[in-house]
Structure 1
Amino acid sequence: MADNGDILVELVDGIQVITLNRPSAKNAMTRAMAGTIAAALDELDAGPAPVSVLAGAGGVFCAGMDLKGFLRGERPSIPGRGFGGLTEAPPRKPIIAAVEGWALAGGFELVLACDLVVAGAGARFGLPEVKRGLVAAAGGLVRLPDRLPPALASELVLTGDPMSAQRLHEAGLVNAVVEEGRALAGALELARRIARNGPLAVTTGKEVLRLSRGWAPEERFARQREYTDPVFASADAREGSLAFAEKRDPQWTGR
């Protein structure tokens, strides 16, 4: 798989791993990096890898956009895809954030665009845009209310102060807090648990989780059937049942 130097994309045990690789700049996002991430996520959805992990090199996740580039007029966003090629159009397949050190501003918004989060014990998350006269427009303002209690979301947005991984784990945003330096290993283990499951069932589950938040309560089951009925009629559903009966691992086809 390709990279542009500042982004590394590789397969680890069949799992896509995207690594932000500008540790000298705290992995601050550039437009070129965003384009590489967008291309990698297109490859994820079109290819055999069942899940992706997004990580940062050098003990830090991402400090947001490259402010020097911003002053030159560069925005590290891709039209239709958003900041980092991710925030406005996450992939169909699951993506896990593996967070060490700082995840700030757009870096935190990348985390919020992921489905699951594994964080090192020293990780800290924040939206400091207000301290610079800016706003968290790459997903912070609209996703935090879905992921956190209102008081915590307001504290992050209005003070600009960071929160610890442990506090956000207790609030339900972070799935697991692991020993510092072990976030990628923990995210890969979580990814392997997902990869063992039926790919059609996983992507459908993710899609319904996302869409159903906007459905009226009385419509949810009827609207869900549009997505879930094809899963029950799929070859994978039959294979999963046969594999269980025959006490063997299923051989998924995604159909």
Structure 2
Amino acid sequence: MASPLKIRKENRILEVTLDRPKANAIDLETSRIMGEVFTNFRDDPELRVAIITGAGGKFFCPGWDLKAAADGDAVDGDYGKGGFGGLQELRGLNKPVIAAINGICCGGGLELALSADVILAADHATFALPEIRSGTVADAASIKLPKRIPYHIAMEMLLTGRWLDAEEAARWGLINHIHSPERLKEETWKLANLLASGPPLVYAAIKEVVREAEDMKFQDALNRITKSQFETVERLYRSEDQLEGARAFAEKRDPVWKGR
């Protein structure tokens, strides 16, 4: 059986392409494979940035594979490390992740995209949470989406299942940038290479602080930083990379980040 993923590693970048014709839906086995891939990405010091995208030009991912469910895959089954799609519950993922949305992105596929840090989309991409029409709950999206875009827009999507095109998705801040289908991959890799050239310890600190501070009061989160209670921040402050950044600035040259 062919692998449901295409994997590319280049310039410290991991590109993961969902490749399950016809729609790139995710069943339990695919989710477990994705969990292993993203766990390895998290733990590999040589990899700095990940891209998640879909094969073909029509679908990014529609989410849960309903055909597999009809054949016995339980919706509450073992999704593997990181939960559904390997990303949204993966602990300690302190590296940037880019989602490149090359088509239909709905249900669990949209929840997967929401697990990324930056979302780029082709101009024909569309977005929705149609679970309401099948009598189920978009659980992760119900938690995340009202925090990402205006509350009333998020609730309309959750309560009605209506679709957003790429232009509207960008207007509400759901995605970062829109590109033509021909340029989406090029622009995604351009951004990935920019991030891969950046300071990995700073990225780790940013991601931990943002994640942990989400439900904290500002002063409480700031106190945790000043009291040395964020591991990634302390590692950064004691690193060779912080010294390198200061030296590079003083010497008017580009820094060489080593991640230590």
Note whether the superposition's TM-score is higher than 0.5: yes
Quote how far apart the aligned CAs of 1:101 are: 1.0
What SS does structure 2 have at the residue aligned with 1:54? strand
Aligned to 1:85: 86
1:124 and 1:49 map into 2 onto residues whose CA distance is 30
The answer to whether residue 103 in structure 2 is matched with residue 106 in structure 1 is no
Aligned to 1:69: 68
Aligned to 1:234: 239
Quote how far apart the aligned CAs of 1:143 are: 0.5
181 and 63 in structure 1: CA distance in 2 versus 1, 3 angstrom threshold: farther
185 and 101 in structure 1: CA distance in 2 versus 1, 3 angstrom threshold: same
Aligned to 1:25: 22
- Residues 36 and 81 of structure 2 are in contact (CA less than 8 Å); yes or no, is this contact kept in structure 1? no
- Residues 17 and 54 of structure 2 are in contact (CA less than 8 Å); yes or no, is this contact kept in structure 1? yes
Aligned to 1:189: 190
4 and 199 in structure 1: CA distance in 2 versus 1, 3 angstrom threshold: farther
1:4 and 1:14 map into 2 onto residues whose CA distance is 25
Aligned to 1:128: 130
- Residues 29 and 79 of structure 2 are in contact (CA less than 8 Å); yes or no, is this contact kept in structure 1? no
Count, aligned residues = 251
**Amino acid in the other structure paired with 1:198:** P
**1:56 paired residue among 54, 57, 67:** 54
1:224 and 1:122 map into 2 onto residues whose CA distance is 42
Quote how far apart the aligned CAs of 1:79 are: 4.5
- Residues 23 and 61 of structure 2 are in contact (CA less than 8 Å); yes or no, is this contact kept in structure 1? yes
Q: Give the gaps of 5 or more residues in structure 2.
A: none
Name the Cα RMSD after superposition. 1.8
37 and 79 in structure 1: CA distance in 2 versus 1, 3 angstrom threshold: closer
The answer to whether residue 255 in structure 2 is matched with residue 250 in structure 1 is yes
TM-score (norm 1): 0.92
Render the CA deviation track for 1:192-241: whole Å, top value 9, x for unaligned. 22112111111110111111111123312111233334322321100111
What SS does structure 1 have at the residue aligned with 2:72? coil
88 and 242 in structure 1: CA distance in 2 versus 1, 3 angstrom threshold: same
2:70 and 2:124 map into 1 onto residues whose CA distance is 31
Quote how far apart the aligned CAs of 1:158 are: 0.6
- Residues 107 and 129 of structure 2 are in contact (CA less than 8 Å); yes or no, is this contact kept in structure 1? yes
2:225 and 2:167 map into 1 onto residues whose CA distance is 34
Matches within 5 A, 1:208-219: 208-219=209-220
Q: Give the gaps of 5 or more residues in structure 1.
A: none
Quote how far apart the aligned CAs of 1:121 are: 0.6
1:195 and 1:57 map into 2 onto residues whose CA distance is 23
**Amino acid in the other structure paired with 2:190:** E
- Residues 65 and 106 of structure 1 are in contact (CA less than 8 Å); yes or no, is this contact kept in structure 2? yes
What SS does structure 2 have at the residue aligned with 1:222? helix
Quote how far apart the aligned CAs of 1:58 are: 0.5
What SS does structure 1 have at the residue aligned with 2:256? coil
32 and 244 in structure 1: CA distance in 2 versus 1, 3 angstrom threshold: same
- Residues 55 and 184 of structure 1 are in contact (CA less than 8 Å); yes or no, is this contact kept in structure 2? no
Quote how far apart the aligned CAs of 1:185 are: 2.1
